[in-house]
Amino acid sequence: MTTAEKIYRTVKELPEPALREVLDFAEFLKQKKNATGTKPGSLAQRIHERYKDLDAENLPIPPRQLSRTPPFHCPNT
């Protein structure tokens, strides 16, 4: 028995409000898959895939901006 068949057997006995929830969830999963264009994976895998062509060796690093005055200090804290 396939997963789809198991899902069908399970949901066919649910009341209408529960069926709408199942449908909403299935549509959410389909939309999520279409939005990413890939199968869902771990966050680390998605980050790695997104930045795989990034040339990190030649990234410009802006000069650090230091404030000239120290932050306000409240002696009563």
Q: Token pair of 40, please?
A: 């869902």
Q: What is the C-alpha separation between 56 and 63, in angstroms, rounded? A: 17
pLDDT value for 50: 85
Domain span including residue 18? 3-48
Summarised one tens digit per residue, pLDDT across range 31-73 is: 877 665 555 578 888 888 888 888 878 878 888 877 677 667 7
Residue 33 in domain: yes
CB-based contacts of 38, cutoff 8 Å, min separation 6: 46, 49
pLDDT value for 63: 82
Residue 57 in domain: no
Residue 39 in domain: yes
**Domains: count for the chain:** 1
pTM over 0.85: no
Residue 37 in domain: yes
